[in-house]
Amino acid sequence: MQYRKLGNSNLEVSVITFGAWAAGGWMWGGTERNEAIKAIRASYDVGVTSIDTAPIYGQGLSEEIVGDAIRDLPRDSIQILTKFGLRWDLDRGSLHMKSKNAEGESIDIYKYASKESIIHECEDSLKRLGTDYIDLYQIHWPDKTTPIQETMEAVSRLIDQGKVRYAGVCNYNTDLLTEASQYINLVSNQVPYSMVKRDIEQDTVPYCLQHNLSILAYSPLERGLLTGKMKPGHQFAPDDHRASLHFFTDTNLARVNSFLEKISPLANEKQCTIGQLVLKWTIEQPGITIALAGARNEKQALENAAAADVELAPSELALITSQLNELKLAK
């Protein structure tokens, strides 16, 4: 495993970080708690010391699972990355989305990051995680109803109290990053980035490189699309959000798999899976500090972790990118 520092902080994180969205089951067709815990522990055993979660993932369940998984581990050997700013238990702020909870009941999720809400969310997260501090605390989505200054000053207060070590953001564009940085020392921006979603290369990556902000790439395997395991005609569970995404139409599955077949000889040469090759390519791109990789079980977790050990020469990275540049997806 490799480790990199976040921004100008002293916080070192594993380049493959365990993404615990799927572990919470929400929008992924449910979860199996024991399997999720085993996956986190297996990752830790091979050097994945960083875990990214959020209260909204399973409406608290993901954080509880993470807390169970790390309970007997040395706290200073783990980096907990969690979030705030999405509330399903009150109707303040702006509506983010309509969804369902684990019981199949309809819920409305709001973007809300007022001072009082953040303080409340932090206390709840600490309890679910079974810890007294969070290593990286990130606003999950921008909240247009609360001044950024108020939001960032609340996080600063938590840092002063020792409940949070460092501040990060998620899904922020360069304008929001500039404004937030006036009020707090930001160390990271967590944004979607994958071989089929590279728009951040235009503005966000150059900005983050210039201002020493780490980029945490989420959905680097594009929710399983880039593993090569899904074929046209794939059937998703009724509550699996991927069924409605354009990436998973039969046309795009065929096009992506055609691209993956072109780079499969390199994966065979490196004795790694397609997914591992994709993850390695991701963490070697300019500005990308870590890749968040989700896993539903121990086998997937170990496969993800091993991606850090794949060795790719600059010429091999360039070859992958040249093949990738020919890929065009239907909208």
* pLDDT for residue 99: 80
In-domain check, residue 41: yes
In-domain check, residue 234: no
Domain range for 214: 3-224+275-310
In-domain check, residue 230: no
57 is catalytic: yes
Q: Where are the beta strands (DSSP E) in 69-119?
A: 79-84, 86-87, 94-100, 106-111
User: How many domains does the chain divide into?
Assistant: 1
* pLDDT for residue 24: 57
* Token reading at 100: 């369902």
CB atoms within 10 A of CB 62: 29
In-domain check, residue 247: no
* pLDDT for residue 25: 55
CATH code assigned at 299: 3.20.20.100
In-domain check, residue 159: yes
Q: Mean pLDDT for each consecutive 10-residue tract of the chain (331 residues)?
A: 96 96 59 84 96 92 93 96 95 88 83 97 98 98 97 98 98 97 98 95 97 96 87 75 80 91 95 96 97 90 96 96 91 84
Cα angle, residue 111 at apex, residues 108 and 112 outer, rounded to 5°? 115
In-domain check, residue 318: no
Question: What is the 8-class DSSP label of residue 27?
Answer: T
In-domain check, residue 237: no
* pLDDT for residue 330: 84
In-domain check, residue 321: no
* pLDDT for residue 4: 97
Phi and psi (nearest 5°) for 19?
-90, 120
* pLDDT for residue 28: 47
Exactly one of 44, 57, 110, 193 is catalytic; name it: 57
The pTM for the full model equals 0.92
* pLDDT for residue 31: 58
